[in-house]
Amino acid sequence: MMKMADSSSNMKCLLLVCFFSILGMAMGIAPKKAVSVPFGKNYAPTWSFDHIKYFNGGNEIELHLDNYTGTGFHSKGSYLYGHFDMHIKMVAGDSAGTVTAFYLSSNGNEHDEVDFEFLGNRTGEPYILQTNVFTGGEGNREQRIYLWFDPTAAYHTYSILWNSYHITFFVDNIPIRIFKNSRKLGLKFPFEQPMKLYSSLWNADDWATRGGLEKTDWSKAPFVAKYRGFHIDACEASVNAKFCETQGRRWWDQKEYQDLDAYQYRRLMWVRRKFTIYNYCKDKARFPIMPRECKIDRDA
């Protein structure tokens, strides 16, 4: 009887392993889990140091915006490829006119840049998330979505996976946009310019909310965005580096990360159908001829 029980138990365990293995394949390969580190390990303030508040030994911070100034921070290192994420709780209440930005950027006129920009709104209205990609100093690749949750009620994870195959934006591990390497078609791709990671909270009421119609209500100041999760999993490089020394050997270079899988593409299409409110690929007034990357990126 004991042997039969053991056999049954082993069979159940085997079935569970198979189930979760299949489930894991169906849900795509998740990035390696981030390690919790304090702000000062990887980041430093960029401007208005007194508008950054530190809590829990530097494991959590707040950015404050008032009618005098906003503030921001940047990574100490520059990077070529990797996985970058941040846990953020957005400005609560009436946040119209404010922008909370989280982005990668290189230096110079022909810079590369990968943007998350969270556009504030009047109380009760949904936050708008705008993404953009600059290559060789050229942007104009805006996409906007409504978030499907209240980003002010709890921390959510916003991530960028950047490798030599694509740049993908994630919200809570759900892909919301992919920008593929189309260099073979003559399109530029962030490849040789190391980028720093930046974040900031600032006033942009000349354009951020309803095209600038809604102005910042300074009686609601200070506006506060909260952050935690300051781990960076990327290849650090000097500013002048043209390649990553470990290129091809890091987890994000491996075959399973060269594209989204079927499940992830279904999630991306779900975001497209349900929450997208602007996509430059469909803006025929601005682009009578569809930009070539749009078909490749499945954004057509």
* 192 catalytic residue (yes or no): no
Contact 177, 143 (CB under 8 A): yes
Q: What sign does the dihedral 138-140-146-150 (CA atoms) show? A: positive
DSSP reduced 3-state for 219:
helix
Report the distance separating Cα 18 and Cα 2, nearest Å: 24
Report the distance separating Cα 28 and Cα 256, nearest Å: 8
Question: CB neighbours of 184 closer than 8 A, spacing ≥ 6?
Answer: none
Report the distance separating Cα 195 and Cα 244, nearest Å: 12
- Active-site annotation holder among 60, 62, 110, 113: 113
Q: Which residues pair with 105 in a beta bridge?
A: 113, 196
- Active-site annotation holder among 60, 62, 110, 117: 117
Report the distance separating Cα 180 and Cα 257, nearest Å: 12
* 142 catalytic residue (yes or no): no
CA–centroid distance for 246 within its chain: 23
Tell me the H-state helices in the chain.
2-26, 39-42, 262-275, 292-296
Residues serving a catalytic function are 113, 117
